[in-house]
Structure 1
Amino acid sequence: MNKNLIRRTALVAIAGTASLALAACGSNDDTPAAHNSHASSPSASASAPGQHNAADVAFAQGMIPHHRQAVEMADLAPSRAESAEVKKLADEIKKAQDPEIKTLSGWLTAWGEQVPTEGAMDHSAHGMAGMMTAEEMDKLKASSGKAFDTVFLEMMIKHHEGAVAMAKTEKADGSFSDAKTMADAIITSQTAEITTMNNLLGKN
């Protein structure tokens, strides 16, 4: 009986050792797979920020002259507007859109795409939503006081609506994450400004 007990104990011990060995082998087999998955993920994530498509390029190339015109309109307010609220709004528009123009230009340069030149401002030729014609810009420049406030607000509402539409297209069709983030910010901020401008027009 003692010999049988010893044999059984030995067999149990051997079986336990074998199972440990198999477990160790299994963990060793998993290690290369784990390494392979880690090795592939950094390259994928590293390339993601640089991925862009035609919609991203169109967004940047369209939004630059669009923003430039908004800044041009805002620059008229300090010397022509009567309302302090209109002057403040114009200043906020300029502060928000000037940096975005620089960012958009930087993206296009990095992508090897053409950055719209400062002189390419034939407003009627762009065909973009919300862009003012040369005649409309002349009307704004010729206005002052309360009349300027009204024309500025009406034009800027239209301008903002165009920018929001362009930003929604970028969100739907673009692939560059930073551009989609900017588009989202444009939708949020300019929609809020449209509400503010409509309220200001109601006070006139």
Structure 2
Amino acid sequence: MITTRHRLAAAAVAAALTLTLAGCASGQTSDSAGASSSPTAEATATHNDADASFAQMMIVHHEGALEMADLAAETAQSPDVVALAERISAAQGPEIDLMTGWLEAWGEPGPDAMGHGGMDHGGMDMDGMDQAGAMAALEQLSGHEFDRRFLELMTAHHQGAIEMAESEIEHGTNPDALSLARTIIDAQTAEITEMANLMGQL
């Protein structure tokens, strides 16, 4: 009789332990997924060609914006334009690092390996100029002329980024890439409005 009770008790403890461990494992998975924001955590999630292309193209696009913004931070006359340029650099630099991490984790080539280093894609065409042409034009200007032309070209550049992000939302599948696309749309739409207001003050 004692042996039977001991066996029943042991079985009950074993069953409870199994349920507890299962619950902990389930909780760990949920917590891990909910807290993951690093590129390596989500990079193993499903991605498709649209996600890879978005990251490859947007890296190059952001690099063009950084080049223009760094020049504006040094050259612009208006303190508001300088501040905007610095904010653009501060936001887009980390996004480049983020997308580079995704491509590495996905096993996808970077933009240089894909031949996108000097691409003329979407917003890289600014008022009929490619990145090199836009930089050459800006480098010849100073004062308010520089400020206005920078704002015009960066507005066109942002519009191109928004189009690329909208395409990612329509065709992509990776949750992190889709989230970044929405962030780009929101942030750069607000900056386009800000730049329009700044141009009205020059």
Q: Distance in 2 between matches of 1:71 and 1:136?
A: 13
Residue equivalent to 1:77? 72
Cα deviation code 1:111-134 (max 9, x no counterpart): 111112399642xxx231111512
2:140 is the counterpart of 1:142: yes
Instruction: Determine the C-alpha separation between the residues in 2 that align with 1:135 and 1:72.
Output: 12
Q: How does 1:73-152 map to 2 (within 5 A)?
A: 73-117=68-112, 121-122=117-118, 126-131=119-124, 132=126, 133=130, 134-152=132-150
Which residues of structure 1 form unaligned runs of 5+?
A: 1-34
Label 1:176 to 1:85 Cα distance change in 2 as closer, same or farther (>3 A): same
Determine which of 180, 183, 186 is the counterpart of 2:184.
186
Residues 159-203 of structure 1, C-alpha deviation per residue, up to 9 Å, x if partnerless? 000001100111111000000000000000000000000111111
Partner Cα separation in structure 2 for residue 48 and residue 84 of structure 1? 39
Larger RCO, structure (CA 8 Å, separation 6 or more): 2
SS at match of 1:116: coil
Identity %: 48
Alignment gaps of 5+ in structure 2: 1-21, 34-40
Q: In 1, distance between residues paired with 2:145 and 2:108?
A: 41
Give the Å deviation of 1:79. Answer: 2.2
Query: Stretches of 4+ moved more than 6 A in 1?
Result: 45-48
Distance 1:130 1:78, change over 3 A: same
In 2, Cα distance between equivalents of 1:121 and 1:156: 19
Q: How large is the RMSD of aligned CA atoms in angstroms? A: 2.7
- Give the TM-score normalised by structure 2: 0.74
Name the residue aligned to 1:20: none
Q: State the match for 2:164 in structure 1.
A: 166
Query: Which is greater in Rg?
Result: 1
In the TM superposition, what is the alpha-carbon distance from 1:47 to its structure 2 partner?
A: 9.0
Q: Out of 129-138 and 56-65, give the one that drifted further.
A: 129-138
